[in-house]
Every structure is written in C-alpha cells, then in structure tokens.
Amino acid sequence: MSGAVSVRLPDDVSKKLDRLAKSLDRPKTYIITKALKEYLEEYEDYLVALDRLNDKDDQIVSKKALIDQLG
C-alpha cells in the first residue's frame, strides 16, 4: 500500500532532482522515497541520541571502561 503526498520544491532542488533522475534512469519518486527513508532513519537515531543525552539517569561509560568491558 502506498500513500500520495504533494510537495512543492524550490526550483533549484527540482532541477537537481530532474537531473539525477535522468542520470540514474530512475523515476523521481524512487529517488525521493530513498532519500526520505534514509533521512527518517537518521532523524530517528538523532532523537534517540538526544533523549539519551538529556536523560540524567543514563549512565555514562568512559572509553577506558568500555574497552575493559569489551576486552
């Protein structure tokens, strides 16, 4: 199942997308989907890291302690 989304892109981004789609011989939808999936995964990781950084109860392990634990 897929959903439709309408987006207005700035001219420079639209032109870059057109050029990339032609050079890869892929539809623009393919490129946008790949880029969005990667961005969303990275952003989710960022939010987890930010949450852990702000968690006062989360233990911080030093580099030396980590190396000792891992052998």
Tell me the whole-structure pTM to 2 decimals.
0.70
Q: What are phi and psi of 61, to 5 degrees?
A: -105, 125
Per-chain mean pLDDT for the chain: 94
Q: Please state the domain count of the chain.
A: 1
Residue 61 in this model has a pLDDT that exceeds 90: no
Report if residue 4 sits inside a domain: no
Residue 1 in this model has a pLDDT that exceeds 90: no
Report if residue 1 sits inside a domain: no
Report if residue 48 sits inside a domain: yes
pLDDT 10s digits, 23-37: 999 999 999 999 999
Report if residue 38 sits inside a domain: yes
The answer to whether 21 and 28 are in contact (CB under 8 A) is yes
Helix (H) or strand (E) holding 4: none
Tell me, rounded to whole angstroms, the distance of Cα 21 from its chain centroid. 20
Report if residue 49 sits inside a domain: yes
Measure the CA–CA gap between 25 and 37, rounded to whole angstroms: 20
> Which residues, other chains included, contact 30 with Cβ-Cβ below 8 Å and sequence gap of 6+?
21
Domain that holds residue 54: 11-70
Report if residue 6 sits inside a domain: no
